[in-house]
């Protein structure tokens, strides 16, 4: 009989997603994740295995609906209770609404918003039958505040926060918590090439610790909308 709890993290091969997997799996969870690069996933699985931890992996592009659906089927095929779902997959390209390349909004909607929508529709029904669970949506400061060169990214992150709020109301009767984490500038690959000192960024581990705290509070509490910023403020 499987006793370990299970966390599902989309886009977990690096950055915030990986950091979230690390902290949960260090606290007794098995993990499931997906990414576009199977070699990176295999290396990640081996890294966890060397620590006696078990990670299930599947290659998937979360910007493609068919891959999102396939990943959901893969998770359900494990025949495991899903305790935590983290909608983390997403990407950022700076630009302005009227000048960014054609198709930017559609591409970011697919990855930043619709991946969360479709994987949630796939997995949450199982969580509802168990009358327990936690959904964490990795939103952004851009979910709350428009800024120069935010463009389509800000549009999709505003929408993801709205998705979280709607989902929270729907899932309250099933004892499923929904948390929205809105990090400011965090040292990830999205900022590669930007010449700013490290103290202008948060660490990915900061976001992961907050994600674990969302899980670690008592059954009678839920952390709803959480904002993290670098100490000197937004970039």
Residue 234 lies in a domain: no
Q: Is the pLDDT of residue 2 over 60?
A: no
Element (H, E) at 72: helix 65-77
CA distance 109 to 91: 10
- Write the pLDDT tens digit of every residue in 74-124: 999 999 999 999 999 999 999 999 999 999 999 999 999 999 999 999 999
Q: Is the distance from CB of 164 to CB of 139 less than 8 angstroms?
A: yes
**Which pLDDT belongs to residue 123?**
98
What's the token pair of residue 57?
């992996």
Domain that holds residue 210: 6-228
**Collapsed DSSP state (helix, strand, coil) of residue 32:** strand
DSSP assignment letter at 82: -
In a domain, 18, yes or no: yes
CATH for 103: 3.40.50.720
Number of structural domains found in the chain? 1
In a domain, 143, yes or no: yes
Prediction pTM value: 0.95
> Would you say 138 and 113 are in contact if contact means Cβ atoms under 8 Å apart?
no
Residue 193 lies in a domain: yes
């Amino acid at each position: 009989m499987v006793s370990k709890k299970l966390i599902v993290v989309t886009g977990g091969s690096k950055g915030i997603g990986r950091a979230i997997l690390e902290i949960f799996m260090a606290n007794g969870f098995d993990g499931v994740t997906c990414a576009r690069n199977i070699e990176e996933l295999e290396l990640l699985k081996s890294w966890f295995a060397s620590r006696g931890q078990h990670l299930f992996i599947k290659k998937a592009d979360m910007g493609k609906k068919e891959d999102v659906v396939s990943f959901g089927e893969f998770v359900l095929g494990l025949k495991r209770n899903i305790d935590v779902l983290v909608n983390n997959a997403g990407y950022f390209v700076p630009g302005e609404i009227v000048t960014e390349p054609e198709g930017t909004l559609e591409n970011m909607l697919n990855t930043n918003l619709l991946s969360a929508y479709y994987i949630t529709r796939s997995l949450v029904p199982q969580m509802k039958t168990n009358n327990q669970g936690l959904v964490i949506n990795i939103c952004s400061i851009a979910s709350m505040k428009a800024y120069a060169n935010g463009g389509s990214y800000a549009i999709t992150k505003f929408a993801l926060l709205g998705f979280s709020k709607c989902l929270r109301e729907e899932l309250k009767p099933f004892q499923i918590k929904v948390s929205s984490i809105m990090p400011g500038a965090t040292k990830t690959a999205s900022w590669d090439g930007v010449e700013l000192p490290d103290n202008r960024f948060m660490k990915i581990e900061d976001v992961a610790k907050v994600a674990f705290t969302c899980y670690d509070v008592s059954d009678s509490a839920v952390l709803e909308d959480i904002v993290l910023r670098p100490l000197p403020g937004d970039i």
